[in-house]
A and B are shown apart, each in its own frame.
Chain A
């Protein structure tokens, strides 16, 4: 481990700048004009992005063995043998992450300036957004588990705040609550994981835990630790069975969905697992669990996306399924590929969301793809950029998504087996289909707009320019990891290699070039198939009723899909209702009845005595005398007996 020197000692500025921006907008945002607010917000993030690029630059200059820089700010929680300092860790993984996070969030900030321009709580929005970026950067820069947890909870909180940003909408409030509580459920396991790590290692530093993992942990313990941490990841990255919050989270303003629920926060789970990879490695059980969960998620959400009609929800489900792909990548031992996919997906999906935002914006908050169409002519910039994004997402050769996805596919073929690979190929086809179903419905075909839309809003340049930049990234982003199969150097995985112990994982070095190429061809074909099917259904005239007929014939399946496989309903019945029932029971029956009644009863008894006892006091002298005599007799009797 290397002490931070030179430029690296300024590392803390990367998260600090967004924080500063956030504080400014929090304290003064209501006083200053929107312009100042946006300058401060975007400026702070921009500086952070620039700084991280500089860091990247000088980081690449370092020799590989020195690419592990820690910067300890101060000791946060010292208690006996436990101590959790605030320390930042810069290694290839976090380097890549901060660059991506700061860059993407800068673009989205700029976009938001245009998108939110008419919102009255402009400052509040940018306060939340900057705060989110701060926590996200802290998360990826964390040097120990607890700091990571700060960022982890922080981004969750900001996501909650931003989802329920439109506070007057009950649905938004509900979605925010749901998002927070569901992810908190995952965090519960994460906390346990952290404590278990401490109990095992007597330390929570990444620098001390991971190197010693293989000697400290017994296989069983390793499984426990890994699974607990993975629990956190499942919650945050919306994996089955905790995926239900993400689609609802689309209540948030679209840029927020782009930033938090596509590019950055939801990928934190992937980052976490990648970060803890040395522990996961020790437990095949954990690895296969990760893979299986990922696969389930990928398939389920992809299928749901096939039939959904809400433009943002389609993208949300697609996000979930892509995250599933990343977890598969991790599960089959290709963490670098997973991170690679994380990056490309971030670009592409951010692009798609922003494009969707532009569409929604254009059609006056219209979200249903059935009431769109023929936008090509109206908002060309959006059209072209969206096309790039869709292609990249579908994994058309040459674009970013292609390389990363195929890296994972290849790894899963070699380590996971043919069946896994097949399912993923089919899923890739689904992906291509729903992406272009969305695309065609929105931009091509005839107008199906809502009558009240007489003319479309044209996005301001602050909105289109980020789109274009992202489009470029989505297009060329893949070339950081051209596989060896295609004669590339796969720089990304070699760059990340020091983070992931060179155990038995085989991304990059595939068994043979031929096999690699074959696999790519097949997956590309399935993608093209999906696209052409979508084209056949939604663009070629006269075929629009085919999907209708399909829907009638397979109505059962359709309902299942359109209801998201009934997850929400089941949860409502099984958990929420039960919980409320129990709570009511304990309150009514136990607290106010049993416990309270005992007290009331006691008081009543005593006060009742207060009513009765004085009644002996009849006011009659002879009665009193009688009492005295009785008393005398009793006493004499007592003395006589004892």
Chain B
């Protein structure tokens, strides 16, 4: 399998025939444009009846989902390079291009996005009372932006989508939010905008740096990967990128916007999208941060890892004592995100594959949990756990789903989260036993706070008013069944994902290692260490390899 270099256009001739069906038309652009156009229609046409825009949105999302499935089918699992790549000039004066591509890492981000957006529209069907058409328009806009982030291979293009995401997010919370929405939106702006605008400066300096080194102006990441960042610029630039991504992720201590955003967004659909939004942070770490600043990642990896571990345990700790069920789940995803970042920054194959799997799994399990909470909220009109209890009596079906997804989040093997978690633990463990121990301990905490939450909501004597809380409708059942199926599928047969992720992940690592080797003369003890680790990873690719090298 071809590694290291990114090659556009799928390799592997024997699969050509299969790919012909969609490979020769710009499927990625269509993926992005379709929802954008849909949103445009919804916004521009003065609909008289709220029903039509929602159907339109659902249709668009559905088509996109099918399209991404076709993409998945045509994807060549053997190649670690970029596939279905498109490249056109956008602003030739700047050397900014409109270039898209998908590899094993982004493929599943795309799939989960299209899926969750579809789900979000389904779940918010009965939930939005005011202007549901407008709402679904914003959701579609989010989808376009998310897909743009996951597919763009041009730093400026990426930044464009990255920024533009904020607007629909802002409106989803600001327009449909609960009483405290104003504060939530302010926080959202201060954090994410502050972070990403700093990143803009860093992007520009990287851009000029690249020009100074090669004499060409370009934002194409494949070329920018080659830029070697001098020591003096490394810290500020890396830090700017890091903060931007860490805020989106969100990594402790940049996380406090998330609980508010989650708690104030009333519609479960919106919350799901937030769940996707925060995956962009982790994804950006993989796609941009690691290959662009391997030496930063190498020398500061221990710090980041410690931060991630902190987030992991801290989030779990705080989730335990939440009384607002949405905040609770929000903090739980803070904890999960810590795990993901950990997986990325242990800089080995298991860690990264685990992180990607984890992103997908969290989107599914937490997303479903949020949908359920939304259904509960629709009936009980409260997010306060102490107002609930004994719900199982009146809603056994929902209780079953709730239990299912809770167990998935707890990380029961056979359900999706476990695989990612375990791989991350393993990756951490083989880098440093302490990391592994600290990370694994979270399984106890997760079980504690999630099951306690479940107990307080579902078990015990039921309040009288609960009599009126009817069980799931058919629509809701369908909405929850879809992710449930995926949760089991991924949990039982993660090979589907892993096979496609592995080439890209290892290509990523190899590239990072190569660049690091180039910057080696720049020296730095940590980098040497890192290089050693990398070689461990790369050796670990080859099956015939005696043990002992991984002895810490």
The reply to whether A and B meet directly (CB within 8 Å) is yes
Chain A residues packing against B (C-beta within 8 Å)? 74-82, 121, 124, 146, 149-150, 153-154, 157, 160-161, 164, 167-170, 172-174, 176-177, 180-181, 184-185, 187-188, 191-192, 195-196, 198-202, 216, 579-580, 582-584, 586-587, 591, 595-596, 599, 602-603
A587 and B253 CA atoms in complex are apart in Å by: 13
A199, B459: Cβ atoms closer than 8 Å: no
A150, B541: Cβ atoms closer than 8 Å: no
The residues of B that contact A157 with a CB separation of less than 8 Å are: 407, 412
B321, A580: Cβ atoms closer than 8 Å: yes
A80, B407: Cβ atoms closer than 8 Å: no
A78, B455: Cβ atoms closer than 8 Å: no
Segment at the interface with A among B1-9, B120-128, B238-246, B435-443:
B435-443
B545 near A: Cβ within 8 Å?
Answer: yes
B430, A583: Cβ atoms closer than 8 Å: no
Segment at the interface with A among B132-140, B216-224, B494-502, B526-534:
B494-502
- Closest chain-A Cβ to B544's Cβ sits at a distance in Å of 11
B318, A583: Cβ atoms closer than 8 Å: yes
B462, A168: Cβ atoms closer than 8 Å: yes
Contact of B436 among A164, A173, A184, A192 (CB under 8 A): A192
A202, B407: Cβ atoms closer than 8 Å: no
A603, B186: Cβ atoms closer than 8 Å: yes
Chain B residue at smallest Cβ distance from A606? B190
A79, B447: Cβ atoms closer than 8 Å: no
B321, A177: Cβ atoms closer than 8 Å: no
- A-contacting residues, B536-552, CB 8 Å: 537, 540-541, 543, 545, 547, 550-552
B422, A191: Cβ atoms closer than 8 Å: yes
A332 and B482 CA atoms in complex are apart in Å by: 52
B426, A164: Cβ atoms closer than 8 Å: no
Chain B residue at smallest Cβ distance from A183? B447
A191, B462: Cβ atoms closer than 8 Å: no
The residues of B that contact A586 with a CB separation of less than 8 Å are: 314, 317-318
B380 near A: Cβ within 8 Å?
Answer: no
Chain A residue at smallest Cβ distance from B313? A586
A176 and B458 CA atoms in complex are apart in Å by: 13
Contact of A191 with B321 at beta-carbon distance under 8 Å, contacts A80-B350, A150-B413 already known: no
Contact of B540 among A75, A80, A599 (CB under 8 A): A80
Contact of B422 among A77, A164, A579 (CB under 8 A): A77
B106 near A: Cβ within 8 Å?
Answer: no
A180, B540: Cβ atoms closer than 8 Å: no
B460, A192: Cβ atoms closer than 8 Å: no
Contact of A80 with B537 at beta-carbon distance under 8 Å, contacts A167-B390, A167-B458, A201-B547 already known: yes
Contact of A167 among B190, B317, B392, B437 (CB under 8 A): B392
Chain B residue at smallest Cβ distance from A171? B460
The residues of A that contact B403 with a CB separation of less than 8 Å are: 161
- A-contacting residues, B499-519, CB 8 Å: 499, 502, 506
Known contacts A167-B458, A177-B452; can you find 6 more A-B pairs with CB under 8 A? A76-B493, A77-B495, A177-B448, A187-B443, A191-B425, A195-B430
B462, A200: Cβ atoms closer than 8 Å: no
The residues of B that contact A201 with a CB separation of less than 8 Å are: 547
- Closest chain-B Cβ to A118's Cβ sits at a distance in Å of 17
Residues of chain B at interface, number, CB under 8 A: 69
Contact of A168 among B257, B414, B429, B460 (CB under 8 A): B460
The residues of A that contact B298 with a CB separation of less than 8 Å are: none
Contact of A77 with B498 at beta-carbon distance under 8 Å, contacts A180-B447, A199-B550, A583-B321 already known: yes
B187 near A: Cβ within 8 Å?
Answer: yes
B451, A180: Cβ atoms closer than 8 Å: yes
Contact of B547 among A80, A202, A582, A583 (CB under 8 A): A202
A-B contact pairs, 19 of them (CB 8 A): A78-B495, A80-B349, A81-B541, A124-B396, A167-B393, A168-B460, A172-B459, A173-B455, A176-B451, A177-B448, A188-B440, A188-B443, A198-B426, A199-B430, A579-B320, A582-B317, A583-B318, A595-B253, A596-B256
B353 near A: Cβ within 8 Å?
Answer: yes
B191 near A: Cβ within 8 Å?
Answer: yes
The residues of B that contact A591 with a CB separation of less than 8 Å are: 256, 318
- Closest chain-B Cβ to A165's Cβ sits at a distance in Å of 10
Contact of A199 with B429 at beta-carbon distance under 8 Å, contacts A177-B451, A191-B422 already known: yes
B444 near A: Cβ within 8 Å?
Answer: yes
Contact of A79 with B502 at beta-carbon distance under 8 Å, contacts A150-B413, A164-B455, A168-B390 already known: yes
B317, A583: Cβ atoms closer than 8 Å: yes
B423, A195: Cβ atoms closer than 8 Å: no
- Name which of A146, A199, A201, A579 has the most chain B CB atoms within 10 A of its CB: A199
The residues of B that contact A150 with a CB separation of less than 8 Å are: 413-414
Chain B residue at smallest Cβ distance from A596? B256
- Closest chain-A Cβ to B210's Cβ sits at a distance in Å of 32
A313 and B494 CA atoms in complex are apart in Å by: 42
The residues of A that contact B413 with a CB separation of less than 8 Å are: 146, 149-150, 153-154
A153, B541: Cβ atoms closer than 8 Å: no
B429, A181: Cβ atoms closer than 8 Å: no
Q: Which 7 A-B pairs have the closest CB atoms?
A: A173-B459, A80-B349, A81-B540, A150-B413, A195-B429, A583-B321, A202-B547
The residues of A that contact B461 with a CB separation of less than 8 Å are: 168, 170
B353, A79: Cβ atoms closer than 8 Å: yes
Q: Return the CB mask of B375-394 against A: 1 if under 8 Å, else 0.
A: 00000000000000010110
Chain A residue at smallest Cβ distance from B317? A583
Q: Return the CB mask of B398-422 against A: 1 if under 8 Å, else 0.
A: 0000010001000011100011001
- Closest chain-B Cβ to A386's Cβ sits at a distance in Å of 33
- Closest chain-B Cβ to A168's Cβ sits at a distance in Å of 6
Q: Return the CB mask of B75-107 against A: 1 if under 8 Å, else 0.
A: 000000000000000000000000000000000
The residues of B that contact A195 with a CB separation of less than 8 Å are: 425-426, 429-430, 436, 440
- Closest chain-B Cβ to A371's Cβ sits at a distance in Å of 26
- Closest chain-B Cβ to A230's Cβ sits at a distance in Å of 16
- Closest chain-B Cβ to A382's Cβ sits at a distance in Å of 32
The residues of A that contact B455 with a CB separation of less than 8 Å are: 164, 173-174, 176-177
A185 and B498 CA atoms in complex are apart in Å by: 29
A192 and B436 CA atoms in complex are apart in Å by: 8
The residues of A that contact B550 with a CB separation of less than 8 Å are: 199, 202
A199, B412: Cβ atoms closer than 8 Å: no
